[in-house]
Amino acid sequence: MARKTVTNSTLSDVAKAAGVSIATASMVLNPTDKTAKVSDERTALVKAAAERLGYVANYHARAMHLGLSETIGFALDYGQAGRELDDEPMDVGYFHHLTMGIEAETHFVGYNLALIGPGTQERAVARGIRQLQQRRLDALIVPAVLSSVRLSNLISEAPDLPIVLIEHDGSSAFPVVHYDEAEGVRRAVAHLAGLGHRQLLWLGPDQDGRRGRADQFREAVQAAGLGGETCFFTVPEPVYDRHSIIRAAGAALSARLARGRDVTALVCYNDFTAVGAYDALLSAGVHIPREVSVVGFDDFVAAYLHPRLTTVSHMLVGMGRRATQLALEMARGPQARAGLRGRREVLVPELVLRASTAPPPGG
């Protein structure tokens, strides 16, 4: 068996060794959707020569040839530019699951993924836009759920760039991938009602911008003819991390349990809120789910709790994959981008049933 030699071989060297033209060697080793068909015999000759010479395609030459970087950017815009994080922010789990979906889709089509965080002088989105303009990226995916993302700035600075937004609630010229949050809350309430629960408690933060699910909860219990109550807690925004959420949620529920134990089921703002609820219930000697059922939201850590948490999936992996598909479509050019202007796609959430819900006592 011939031993592969690692050299600085060029495409010209491969073509000469295979006895074909440079154009033919390029079509075999750097194929595109528009590449002409090369015979199986010549393809085998070129690949064998490339293997024998240790040829590796030049990324920059390929990018110039294609007019594409074959890279999708993902703006991880959390924390403050140039500052270290004091603690892992709540958004890390969110970004992690989105990244799983984006990475799976880029890998599937042979693209690269560039994770773009804040720099010392600018936010991640600004860095991503600059890299788009420099042609270092073919498209940019922006989660629009954070206060640091200013959509008005995006529109004014980059109205025609290939940008896809995730979870943007307002109107937008950019395509948006979202999920039906209200339907997720309705499914959680319907599941508990189906088990026989008649009095439900909402446990969640009271900050502006984080009470939407509580409003959806009220609407869902009213529509189902159930009794509903809300229990809010406050976490200062500068320290809005998972540990603070867990502590605040647990303290709020403990205070509510001290006033009475008439509630048989909880619907929690997210899985970390449910972790705090678990702590409070277990400290009070309340059994989950025999005495109180608990439903979470997001499906970040639900499978690792005991009992395993029934929760509403945030569909983040699916949103990441779909956003990437739209980004790849936009990267095809201005005509493709024009066809996607204003597009809004909404994923239907899934209620993941596990072991934290059961019929109420005596039910």
| pTM, two decimal places | 0.80
180-214 confidence digits (pLDDT tens): 999 999 999 999 999 999 999 999 999 877 789 99
Question: Does a structural domain hold residue 363?
Answer: no
Span of 54-63, 71-80, 246-255, 275-284 with lowest mean pLDDT? 54-63
CB 326, CB 164: distance < 8 Å: yes
CA 213 from chain centre, in angstroms, equals 19
- pLDDT of 6 > 60? The answer is no
Q: pLDDT grade, residue 2 (50/70/90)? A: very low
CATH number at residue 79: 3.40.50.2300
134 and 195 together in one domain: no
Instruction: Using DSSP bridges, classify how beta strands 310-313 and 350-352 pair: parallel, antiparallel or unpaired.
Output: antiparallel
**What pLDDT, on the 0 to 100 scale, is given for residue 86?**
47
Question: Does a structural domain hold residue 41?
Answer: yes
Question: Does a structural domain hold residue 46?
Answer: yes
Mean pLDDT value across residues 1-24: 75
Both tokens of 321, joined, read 């994959």
- pLDDT of 92 > 90? The answer is no
293 and 283 together in one domain: yes
**What pLDDT, on the 0 to 100 scale, is given for residue 67?**
63
Domain-ending residue, one of 41, 66, 91: 66
CB 101, CB 166: distance < 8 Å: no
Cα-only R_g, the chain: 26
156 and 228 together in one domain: no
The secondary structure of residue 319, as a DSSP letter, is H
Residues 6+ apart with CB under 8 A from 197: 226, 264, 265, 293, 359, 360, 363
215 and 192 together in one domain: yes
99 and 163 together in one domain: yes
**What pLDDT, on the 0 to 100 scale, is given for residue 164?**
95
**What pLDDT, on the 0 to 100 scale, is given for residue 60?**
59
**What pLDDT, on the 0 to 100 scale, is given for residue 163?**
94
Question: Does a structural domain hold residue 362?
Answer: no
Q: Which domain holds residue 55?
A: 11-66
More confident residue, 347 or 36: 347
Average pLDDT, the chain: 87
84 and 17 together in one domain: no
CATH number at residue 56: 1.10.260
Q: Which helix (H) or strand (E) holds 265?
A: strand 265-268
Residues 6+ apart with CB under 8 A from 336: 329, 330
**What pLDDT, on the 0 to 100 scale, is given for residue 76?**
86
Mean pLDDT value across residues 157-176: 86
Mean pLDDT value across residues 305-330: 97
Look at the chain and report how many structural domains it folds into: 3
Domain-ending residue, one of 20, 46, 66: 66
149 and 168 together in one domain: yes
More confident residue, 35 or 95: 95
- pLDDT of 218 > 60? The answer is yes
Q: pLDDT grade, residue 121 (50/70/90)? A: confident
**What pLDDT, on the 0 to 100 scale, is given for residue 79?**
56
159 and 142 together in one domain: yes
Question: Does a structural domain hold residue 131?
Answer: yes
**What pLDDT, on the 0 to 100 scale, is given for residue 32?**
65
145 and 86 together in one domain: yes
**What pLDDT, on the 0 to 100 scale, is given for residue 87?**
45
62-83 confidence digits (pLDDT tens): 656 566 788 999 998 765 555 5
What is d(CA 141, CA 109) in angstroms, rounded to the nearest whole number? 16
Domain-ending residue, one of 288, 313, 338: 313
137 and 189 together in one domain: no
Q: Alpha helix locations (H) across the chain? A: 11-18, 22-29, 40-53, 59-66, 91-108, 124-133, 151-157, 181-195, 212-223, 242-258, 271-283, 316-330, 334-340
141 and 159 together in one domain: yes
SS3 state of residue 347? strand
**What pLDDT, on the 0 to 100 scale, is given for residue 240?**
67
32-67 confidence digits (pLDDT tens): 655 568 889 999 999 999 889 888 776 656 656 566
More confident residue, 186 or 96: 186
**What pLDDT, on the 0 to 100 scale, is given for residue 1?**
43
Question: Does a structural domain hold residue 77?
Answer: yes
Question: Does a structural domain hold residue 354?
Answer: no
What is d(CA 246, CA 24) in angstroms, rounded to the nearest whole number? 62
The dihedral region occupied by 271, where left means phi > 0, alpha psi between -120 and 50, and beta the remainder, is alpha
**What pLDDT, on the 0 to 100 scale, is given for residue 170?**
81
φ, ψ at 22 (rounded to 5°): -60, -40
175 and 185 together in one domain: no
Question: Does a structural domain hold residue 356?
Answer: no
Residues 6+ apart with CB under 8 A from 347: 177, 178, 179, 180, 315, 318, 319, 322
**What pLDDT, on the 0 to 100 scale, is given for residue 33?**
58
